Structure 1
Amino acid sequence: MTHRHTAMQRGLLPVSIALALAPAFAGAQEAAPAENATTLDRIEVTGSRIRQSDIETAQPVIQVTRQQIQQQGFTSVADILQNLTSAGSPAISRAQALASGEDVGGYYIDIRNLGAQRTLVLVNGKRLGISTSGLQDLSQIPVSAIERIDVLKDGGSALYGSDAIAGVVNVITRTNFDGIEANAYLGQYSQGDGEKQSYDLTMGNVGDRSSLTVSFEYAKEEPVFAKDRPFSAYGNVGSGYADDYPFSGWSPVSQNGSALLPCGPGGALTWCTLTPGADPTNPANYTPLTPDQYANSNEQMYVQTGIERQSVFVNGTFDITDNVRFKADLQYNKRTTQQQIAGYPFQSAAFGTPLSGDSFFSPTPGEDLSFRRRLWEMPRRTESKLETFRVAAGFEGSFQIGENYWDWDIGANINRNENIKNSRGDASLLAAEQALGASWFNPATGRVECGSAADPISYGTNFGNGECVPWNPLAPFGDAQQGSLTNNPDLIAYLFPQYTDTGRTNSKTYSANLSGTLFALPAGDLGLAVGYEHRSEDGRFVPDAFAQTGLSTGLPATTTAGAYSLDEYYAELEIPVLADMPFAKELAFNIASRYSDYSNFGNTTNSKFSFRWRPMDGLLVRGTYAEGFRAPSINDLYGGIGGSFESYTDPCGVGATNSVNGNAACNAAGVPLGYVQLGQGLVPCTGYPCQTPDQFLSGSNPNLTPETAKTKTAGIVWSPKWVEGLDIELDWYNYQLDNAIISDSVDRILSDCYVLGDASRCAGITRAADGHITNMFFGLANLGALETEGWDFNVGYKLPETSFGKFTINWDNSYTSKYDTLSQDDEGNNIMVGQVGTGGVFRLRSNFGVNWTKGIWSANWTARYYSGIYESCVPNRPCSDPDRIANGVPDAINRLGSNTFHDVQVAAKLPWEATVAVGANNAFNHLGPTMFTQPSSNFPYYGGFDIGRVVYVKYQQRF
């Protein structure tokens, strides 16, 4: 790191762009470049709006160059940025197989663990389009089009507006490219799965007054199954614990089916399963369901989703005069992501759909029968497609007043995202109720059919046409008898329709900016930048009709739709105070402020102050103070109601750590003494958090207000003269986030109600007579607060060239000394609770890299270090510190060690203008520890860690 329409129409869009630009491309090739065509040579750097020929801002900025990108084995912008030491836990990681909604399948970046929605992403200084949730999908950006990536690790709302609380990622694309370049990448995990491939072609030419760069890219990564990794192969027990806790991570809702029958000892009612191949109508053919017949749902789940991307990026400029230029970026991207989770755990009691006593398959004629059946034959698969159409165009120019230069630009940035999610695997409840109803054997057709001999129902797969296919949910997986899902395409077609969710978001920005120098001061020019922006956002996400009506086993959801607009004005001053004086080679201040007027909540003003002080050559002292904000998103304000099967720990259950079973609040709720929390299939939980058997609901809040933040940084940059090529940076940061929009989590509500005794928090909790929670609603609120503080320490050293070649060393470190979130103590008082070392909040992340070049050869090695972490203890699992007390209450934890992943690459330049490279990410095939709390994952593993060794080869050809 350096510090400083129709399907045919859409498919033809990339070709159409290329053909439309071909004449301009040819004209650019014919023109001869001029040495000094224009005076448009001042640049705008990330972190300042003032254009100058050369400026170093007071803010900490990391720069990832194209050369550094090529030295890595990653094929997406998100993977490159995720390995920055200041990056937080991935939002909706590829290991979160159970995630649902509009944003699933995208790649997002989170700086400082403040949340991806609080990191602003720009392309060439212009906003990337957002989803209704306010997230910006980095998979839209083709790596082949990138020149460099600037990461501002500081609040930027005063200059860039909403969302720039944690920082700003500015992707700078390639311009003035001359020639043709083609790249190919092939890789896979050493386990033989997760194949990766990427191909790109970039063409460009520069004329005397114009330039054109066109980049095409295709990339694909195959999914990886959870059953093929040791930490997830045995259910959510984790690698190394399967023998100690056999089947404890498996679901009692078995793919073999089970029903409540008198097959237990002495004829006791228990969950019983049919002997494969036996007559389902004979109760004697059923035996008690045993744990080894439980469902290991991880066998059917992806531990890493698959993704396919097709991109076209075009950048063009034309100098109308020496002082006026037209610029345009055009982008098309199509991203397709594949998810798969296990077949649905169908529980008839949850939907009121028992096996009818009039069913031909019933072992209890005349009496309806409750059953459970994992729909193993039809895993739930979702294909998420996102198409992005983006254009940023405008004019820029310069003029001179006396000795002072001024730069101006006007332009528009339009981004449209279209989202289609196709899924299958959830059963239609309407069809299931019919298929489980009365059925009879038709001797004329030799098959079981719905209805009865006196009142038959047409056999067929079209429910809407009044047809029906009968279902025997008690037929075990693999048993192809009549009514079974095994080898029965008619029944599968009848029960499992195709579901389609659709969405669209539109972002439009119109802007005008002016920057230059007002007049000269003794220490330099007084710089000024002013600007105006108008932005509008509208979006909708429409779930399938089955989801909206709750008539399938899928999660219920309703439509999200809304819009807002805003006008913003900003000003920035660069004030040089001292120059070329003893202990003050430079002293300058920068002041910026932005006024934002939103159509939905009103206005807000955010300002920023920074300074640069060079007491001597080679030493820079810098600092900033910034105000920031994040406006509520469309989904925050106007989102629909959604359902989910939450994993939580009920404090009223005796199996929970720090149980309060028997206290006044639990007794008032009717929770029996000795109650054990019930999970799927209403079976007592043996591990925590435990997933509910019932759907809970969550939703938006139209009365939300903006989040606010205050950011402070201070640091030094030292380049000692006596060690040529050495640069050292040390920066301190502090972020305070207030009024944060958070989901009012299940665990927080339960703790407030039953542990802290806040009766107002109990109103939305519904319990059954046996004590288990059957329903909850939890929405969004401005309830959150967070403070984080730490240090960044970076060393870059370009060693003098030797006979052994050139060596470059980079050592980047991010140390988090504080990460506190708002909570409550046992008396109900608000307190800030430390989270450093939990989940993905590592105390120290460190990347140490060495690059070597000699002649045609080069090599790169990077070690990515993550400090030790801990998680809350759960029953029946290892616990290293069971007697720990935190904030005056027991808080047992399990401590886990540090982790280091090593990446290597060796490359050679070939005589025919080509480069070939081979490498491995996570070269030693290191796996992180088992984590039962599943941070950023749906498996007992941290979702930001490598899941195996990736070996790859890359080839580049230049023309």
Structure 2
Amino acid sequence: MTFKTTKLRDAISLALVAGATFGASSAFAQEAETAGATTLDRIEVTGSRIRQASVETAQPVVVLSRENIENMGVTSVADILQNLTSAGSPAISRGDVLASGENVGGYYIDLRNLGASRTLILVNGKRLGANTTGLQDLGQIPASAIERIEVLKDGASSIYGSDAIAGVVNVITRRRFEGAELNAYYGQLNEGNGTNQTVDFTIGTSGDRGSVTMSIDYGKEEPIWARDVWYARDGSRGPAFPGAGWSPVSQNGSFCDPCTPSSAAVWWTLIPGQDPTDRDSYQVHTAAFNANSNEQMMARTGIERRSIFVAGEYDVTDNVRFVADALYNHRETTQTVAGYPFQTAAFGIPLSGDSAFNPTPGTDLTIRRRLWEVPRTTESNLSTYRLTAAFEGYFELGNTTWDWDAGGIWNRNEMLKVGRGDASLAAMDLAMGPSFVNAQGIVQCGTADNPIPLGTNLGAGECTPVNPLLPYGVAGAGSLSDPNVQAFLFPYYHDRGLTESTTYFANLSGTLFELPAGDLGIAVGYEHRNEQGRFVPDAFNQAGLSTGLPATTTAGGYKLDEFYVELAVPLLSEVPGAHELTLNVASRYSDYSTFGDTTNNKFGLVWRPVEDLLVRATYAEGFRAPSVDNLYGGVGGSFESYTDPCGSTGPGNVAGGATCTASGVPADYVQLGQGLVPCSTFPCQTPDQFLSGSNPNLTPETAETMTAGIVYSPEWVSGLDISLDWYKVEIDNLIASDSVTDILQDCYLRGIAERCTLFTRDPTDSHINALNFSLTNKGRLETEGYDLGVRYRLPETAYGNFSFDWQVSYISEYNLWANNNPDTVAQPSVSFAGTFRTRSNLGVDWQYGDFGATWTARYYSSMKEGCAVTASYDPTYCNIPDYVAPDVPDGLPLRKVGSNTFHDVQFRYNTPWNGTVSVGANNVTNHHGPIMFSAPNNQFAYYGGFDFGRTLYMKYQQRF
């Protein structure tokens, strides 16, 4: 099948609505390659199942070629995609070092800020396996195996089923590769840490009837420590407020006397060099003894990956081919966070009055002690196995050609998490219980009449006593630095996870008959999928027998059958006012074993009034089915950060209001944080674990997506391509975790009485001591915006080839409703941290013979966040003191920070021996983003999607 190429067709094949940060010349190299072809096999473009020679569709598709990827200074698929201007905040940034569960260490992409679970990931048009939370790890795919990446920024549930609400990422791997290729990358932050190194090797061979291509990747990113990062080393509020957020539960150890009321408790800590068993050896614990937990925290987790990808094909007959690919990936992720802030009041384990270490014999003591000597470290190991096999071919029926394929996919993820640093409560109870000095002068658990054998085997009835009042670095009996004490109190914990997905599919596409304007194309297909998963926390955590967060087993699965049909109907062709007019219609029926069935439809229109102008529009229905974790997840615990509306010092409070008073909260109540110390900064972390869990009664999210746009490649300006696309997405029955903030605001600000039943307060000091929340189909989300793309390739000059690429994504609306009640007021989120109103990338590429260079500027518009005006804050930081929005009509103090631009450069040289040397710097100016007290997508006061600092790197490629 042949067709005449046009500038417009080339432009669409290059996906002019892209938001990537690659140099423009490499993209135009792809354009030139496409333009040079006059006869192409029928291809399947992401977003359509109908195979065709033309790449033009009604939907906006971004194409990142292999050359684009090689001209970037990043090494993972997710980092490549995160630089798209349409990409939202990272789902789990590497700075979320307190994140737990299966997702840690994975790379996920979030299009349109709609959530990573609403972006579907495909490999060669087939689903990538997901874990029990429904997230698909792009890091499983070795970058060396990639031929190109196609990103559909439109709803596609009618084509691909669940999850394709925000869009689809389709990773196309290399096939029929001939020869060998070696790549090496070494990068490092300018501070000298955060080393990143990768090595990959690809080899392939092909013959008359088949081919085999194999890629092997190894990559290792060293962790970055918070103590080495400018925005974290001084504490949780950044360098502007050193010491802010430091915890009174410190490595120095302290006891309270008196202990009540909690807000007025006096805490005592050991005077350096004094006798820990003498009550007079203690002084009042002041802020000078507080703990800067960031000294022990990672600012970025460490990760190590090994991948093997093999793709092969064999022509069984002239029109039947067998294709298969196999993937193995092993990921090791290391997290380290500060030692656990142990508070005996939370567990009912005081330092016994009969302990040999008690400075007030006969009186049990309430203790606070951060277990600094044994930081909490978790190593997550994930192994992924994936196999795809299918037969594909074509046959002639009359004067038309029909394409078909049928096969299966098997994907399995096996996870093992090994952690240490949380204390065994049973061991701690014994170690802090009665103890005495035996005849050998050694402190021993128990009493002289009923001693407990010394040792570290709790199960064998042994015990090693601990003195929690000895500060970190101070030796002595019972010190937490004693290896025997550590061996007794800190066991190793093991969590295990397993997910398995099996899919069978069959597809058929071809031409029903010829219409006056062209062929009436059709595609039909069937898919059966079986998803199973479980995640089993350590028995200690399941039983609540450690200081770790409680968690129970997630286990379950579901099956589904799906049928789809798609039609491409040419209406007009080569007539005045309609060089082309084509209608695309698709529908998919899905039957789930969990919630029942659903049907989703899509309509698309392509109109080309003249040859160099295309107008396109789509309307799509979509859905996202609840994941295994959504439906069958266990109960988990967390220490949430929030602002109590009844606190008299928090922002936007209603202290003294009728609802607060009815709850028994006095008008002068001050919110209590860790250690039951009054909060001075907000949001403030609770001293108590709150519980959350799944919901087996969840129903699917439903969505409507609309897009419209133009693509213009004027014949009178050679090398210029312009595109503009509008989109609007509406999601109902939103599956989301309820939040502490929503619950408290619903109770105290919105007067929803049933929400007040989800938490309790301590009757003596009024702090919230228990709260339960779970997943619900609670809300609605709407977002609307525009994508602009301008590319221009200058005519060849005596100084080389220059090309420019400017991409902009603009969010005009992003509103979230707390529930489906139409009377609920929308919460606008545009320009709040992470949801940038504008993201823009400008790239300039230069190529002169064997030399080349790329410069890219990445722009992020300003951000807002909530703030508090307290003694520890400069009031000028709240530079929007009376922010008014539909959800806060009476005004709320906010803080606004300016825009940020990061610059990347790369220089490259093609050697005479068929190699390429590249050197570059990401964020070459070492630009620092602003401190964000709300810590968006991060554990620290900095936006998790921004660069840590300047990254210098060198790449070498050798082709054989």
Distance 1:949 1:78 in 2: 19
CA distance in 1, matches of 2:329, 2:687: 39
Q: Is the 8 A contact 1:40 1:397 kept in 2?
A: no
Partner of 1:77: 77
Deviation per residue, 1:908-946 (Å, 9 max, x gap): 011111111000111111111011111111111111111
In the TM superposition, what are the counterparts of 1:664-743 in structure 2 within 5 Å? Answer: 664-743=658-737
Question: Amino acid of the residue matched to residue 588 of structure 1?
Answer: T
2:884 is matched with 885
Letter in structure 2 aligned against 1:104: V
Pairing 1:643–2:615 present: no
Among candidates 272, 277, 292, match of residue 276 of structure 1: 272
Distance 2:454 2:705 in 1: 67
Amino acid at match of 2:183: N
**1:824 offset after TM fit, Å?**
8.1
CA shift in 2, pair 1:583/1:78, >3 Å: same
Flag the 1:390–1:683 CA change in 2: closer, same or farther, 3 A.
same
Aligned to 1:33: none
1:875, distance to aligned residue in structure 2 (A) = 3.2
Q: Which residue of 1 aligns with 2:156?
A: 156
1: CA distance, partners of 2:545 / 2:495: 15
Question: Quick one: distance in 1 between partners of 2:325 and 2:807?
Answer: 33
Taking the aligned partners of 2:55 and 2:884, their CA distance within structure 1 comes to 51
Q: How many residues align?
A: 915
Matched, 1:464 2:459: yes
Specify the alignment match of 2:23 in structure 1: none
Q: Deviations for 1:68-89, whole angstroms, at most 9, x for unmatched residues?
A: 1100110111111111000001
Matched to 1:377, the amino acid is E
Partners of 2:778 and 2:818 within 8 A in 1: no
Q: Residue 3 of structure 1: SS of its match in structure 2?
A: coil
How do residues 424-439 of structure 1 correspond to structure 2 at under 5 angstroms?
Answer: 424-439=420-435
Aligned counterpart, 1:13: none
Distance 2:181 2:958 in 1: 6
Post-superposition offset of 1:230: 1.6
Aligned to 1:401: 397
Q: Given that residues 236 and 939 in structure 1 are in contact (C-alpha distance below 8 angstroms), is that contact kept between their aligned partners in structure 2?
A: yes
SS at match of 1:627: strand
Q: Distance between the aligned counterparts of 1:241 and 1:557, measured in 2?
A: 35
Q: Can you list the C-alpha shifts for 1:710-741, whole angstroms capped at 9, x where unaligned?
A: 00000000001111111111000000010101
1:869 and 2:869 correspond:
no
Q: 2-side partners of 1:272 and 1:676: how far apart?
A: 22
**Aligned counterpart, 1:782:** 777
**Secondary structure of the residue that 1:358 maps to in structure 2?**
coil
Aligned counterpart for 2:314 among listed residues 318, 333, 341? 318
Within 5 A, what are the aligned runs for 1:543-942?
A: 543-769=537-763, 770-823=765-818, 829-876=823-870, 877=873, 878-887=877-886, 888-942=889-943
Q: What is the deviation of 1:53?
A: 2.1
User: Aligned runs of 1:11-410 on 2, under 5 Å?
Assistant: 41-242=41-242, 247-261=243-257, 270-410=266-406
SS in 1 for 2:131: coil
Contact 1:612 1:623 in 2 (8 A): yes
Q: Distance in 2 between matches of 1:848 and 1:198?
A: 27
Larger RCO (CA within 8 A; separation ≥ 6): 2
Mapped pair 1:480 → 2:481: no
**Separation (CA, whole Å) in 1 of partners of 2:76 and 2:496:** 25
| Distance in 2 of aligned mates of 1:129 and 1:750 | 37
Distance (Å, rounded) in 1 between the aligned partners of 2:885 and 2:612? 46
Residue aligned with 2:880, SS: coil
Provide the C-alpha distance between the structure 2 equivalents of 1:935 and 1:262, rounded to a whole number of angstroms. Answer: 38
Question: What per-residue deviation string (whole Å, max 9, x for no partner) do you get for residues 807-830 of structure 1?
Answer: 1211111000000010489x9940
Match in the other structure for 2:15: 3
The AA in structure 2 aligned to 1:737 is I
* Per-residue Cα deviation, 1:582-625 (whole angstroms, up to 9, x for no partner): 12111101000000000110000000000111111111100000
AA at the equivalent of 1:174: R
- The amino acid of 1:816's aligned partner reads I
CA contact (8 A) 2:779 2:819 kept: no
Q: In 1, are the aligned partners of 2:337 and 2:375 still within 8 Å (CA)?
A: yes
Q: How many percent identity over aligned positions? A: 62
Deviations 1:629-685 (A, max 9, x none): 000001111110000000011001001112111112111211122000000000000
Distance 1:801 1:124 in 2: 36
Q: Is the 8 A contact 1:263 1:288 kept in 2?
A: no
Provide the TM-score with structure 1 as the length reference: 0.94
What is the identity, as a one-letter code, of the residue corresponding to 1:884?
Answer: Y
Q: SS at the partner of 2:671?
A: coil
Q: 2:151–2:168: 8 Å Cα contact kept in structure 1?
A: yes
Q: Which deviates more from structure 2 when the two are superposed, residues 551-560 or residues 448-457? A: 448-457
Q: State the Cα distance separating 1:689 from its structure 2 match.
A: 0.5
Tell me the CA shift for residue 845 of structure 1: 0.2
Q: Take 1:818 and 1:184, find their aligned partners in 2: how far apart are those partners? A: 43
Is the Cα contact below 8 Å between 1:122 and 1:168 reproduced in 2?
yes
Shift of 1:40: 10
Distance (whole Å) between structure 1 residues aligned to residue 80 and residue 846 of structure 2: 20
Q: Measure the CA separation in 2 of the matches of 1:269 and 1:167.
A: 54
- The separation in 2 between residues aligned to 1:278 and 1:443, in whole angstroms, is 24
Query: SS at the partner of 2:408?
Result: strand
The residue aligned with 1:529 is 523
Q: Alpha-carbon deviation of 1:3?
A: 1.4
The one-letter code of the counterpart of 1:390 is R
Whether contact under 8 Å (1:756, 1:828) holds in the other structure is: no
Q: 1: distance between equivalents of 2:323 and 2:273?
A: 71
Measure the CA separation in 2 of the matches of 1:784 and 1:385: 35
Question: Which consecutive residues of structure 2, in runs of 5 or more, have no partner in the other structure?
Answer: 1-12, 17-38
2:35 is aligned to: none
Shift of 1:269: 6.3
Q: CA deviation at 1:2?
A: 3.8
Q: What letter is aligned with 2:814? A: Y
CA distance in 2 between counterparts of 1:884 and 1:604 reads 42
Contact kept, 8 Å, 1:307 with 1:335, in 2: the verdict is: yes
Where do 5+ consecutive residues of structure 1 fail to align? 5-38
Provide, for residues 844-901 of structure 1, a one-character-per-residue CA deviation record: whole Å limited to 9, x for no partner.
Answer: 0001001111111011111000001111122333200112222322221111000001
CA distance in structure 2 between the partners assigned to 1:241 and 1:667 by the alignment: 34
In the other structure, the counterpart of 1:7 is: none
Mapped partners of 1:735, 1:593: distance in 2: 19
Q: Distance in 2 between matches of 1:283 and 1:829?
A: 61
Alignment check: 8 A CA contact 1:790 1:818 kept: yes
